């Protein structure tokens, strides 16, 4: 089966996940390697016109929430990181297969996706608190670190009228975490690479997205009654 084209629509946030073939801690000082990849990410995002709203980097994966300026923006960032890492690690294949991505509905799923990706280090047992993991946007979102490469999404700004309010409200939401049902929706959207949002959002993508935004229903199409059958009733 031919793989689907990358799902893209202009001016919308994308959630992307790229897994590494070799853990970044395998060569020794994993922290130094994460520092380097984070620096490359900032440079590459600026170069390729990708506005990063949230990110998380662990030893086995990179997660991004970003709005690219064009259809190839996120792919260009991932490819550039792959070339840099391949040269540094002296390996051929950096990423385990094609990176996954999905379109995200603003106003409904941006904040859950941000919290989901920023709490990955907690789920992996790498940190006791998301804001203590410095290789993510969590510290910046709660006011514990400089913004760095971040371009905060409007949904984050809606968390409060002042920076203090936004940071406090976001910290409270991050402490609550993402409901299991919502986490499952996010992971399913990433795995299937279909749009993450409600029916109205998916319908709004018709004519603007690079391909069909939702999976087709399984099974054969419903058979339409023939005219003579209707007349016989």
Asked if 109 and 22 count as a contact pair (C-beta separation under 8 A), the reply is: no
**Is residue 51, in this structure, part of any structural domain at all?**
yes
Please give the Cα distance from 73 to 68 (Å, whole number): 5
Q: Which residue, 155, 139, 135, is CA-closest to 60?
A: 135
**Is residue 206, in this structure, part of any structural domain at all?**
yes
Residues with pLDDT less than 50, the chain: 1, 219, 221, 227, 230, 232-233
Look at the chain and report how many structural domains it folds into.
1
pLDDT for residue 196: 94
Please give the Cα distance from 233 to 219 (Å, whole number): 27
- Report the predicted TM-score, pTM, of the whole model to 2 decimal places: 0.87
**Is residue 3, in this structure, part of any structural domain at all?**
no
**Is residue 217, in this structure, part of any structural domain at all?**
no
Ramachandran quadrant class, 117 (left: phi over 0; alpha: psi -120 to 50; beta: rest)? alpha
**Is residue 204, in this structure, part of any structural domain at all?**
yes
**Is residue 221, in this structure, part of any structural domain at all?**
no
- How would you list the strands of the sheet with 100-103, edge to edge? 50-57, 61-68, 14-19, 100-103
pLDDT for residue 217: 61
In terms of Cβ atoms closer than 10 Å to its own Cβ (0-12, 13-18, 19+), residue 222 is exposed
**Is residue 54, in this structure, part of any structural domain at all?**
yes
pLDDT for residue 134: 94
Looking up residue 136, the CATH number of its domain turns out to be: 3.30.70.1290
pLDDT for residue 219: 46
pLDDT for residue 224: 52
**Is residue 83, in this structure, part of any structural domain at all?**
yes
Instruction: Print the domain residue range for 106.
Output: 14-212
Q: How do residues 56-114 score in pLDDT, each as one tens digit?
A: 999 999 999 999 999 999 999 999 999 999 999 888 899 998 899 999 999 999 999 99
């Amino acid at each position: 089966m031919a793989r689907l084209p990358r799902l893209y629509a202009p001016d919308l946030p994308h959630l992307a996940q790229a897994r590494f073939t070799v853990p970044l801690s395998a060569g020794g000082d994993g922290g130094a390697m994460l520092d380097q990849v984070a620096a490359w990410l900032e440079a590459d995002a600026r170069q390729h016109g990708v506005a990063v709203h949230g990110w998380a980097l662990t030893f086995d994966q990179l997660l991004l929430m970003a709005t690219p300026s064009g259809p190839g923006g996120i792919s260009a960032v991932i490819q550039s990181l792959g070339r840099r890492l391949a040269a540094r690690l002296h390996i051929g294949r950096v990423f385990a297969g094609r990176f996954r991505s999905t379109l995200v509905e603003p106003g409904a799923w941006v904040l859950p996706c941000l919290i989901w990706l920023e709490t990955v280090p907690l789920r992996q047992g790498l940190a006791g608190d998301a804001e203590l993991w410095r290789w993510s946007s969590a510290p910046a979102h709660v006011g514990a670190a400089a913004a760095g490469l971040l371009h905060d999404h409007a949904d984050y700004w809606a968390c409060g009228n002042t920076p203090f309010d936004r940071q406090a409200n976001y910290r409270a939401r991050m402490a609550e975490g993402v409901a299991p049902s919502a986490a499952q929706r996010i992971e399913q959207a990433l795995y299937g690479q279909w749009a993450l949002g409600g029916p109205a959002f998916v319908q709004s993508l018709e004519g603007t997205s690079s391909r069909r935004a939702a999976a087709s229903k399984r099974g054969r199409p419903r058979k339409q009654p023939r005219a003579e059958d209707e007349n016989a009733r």
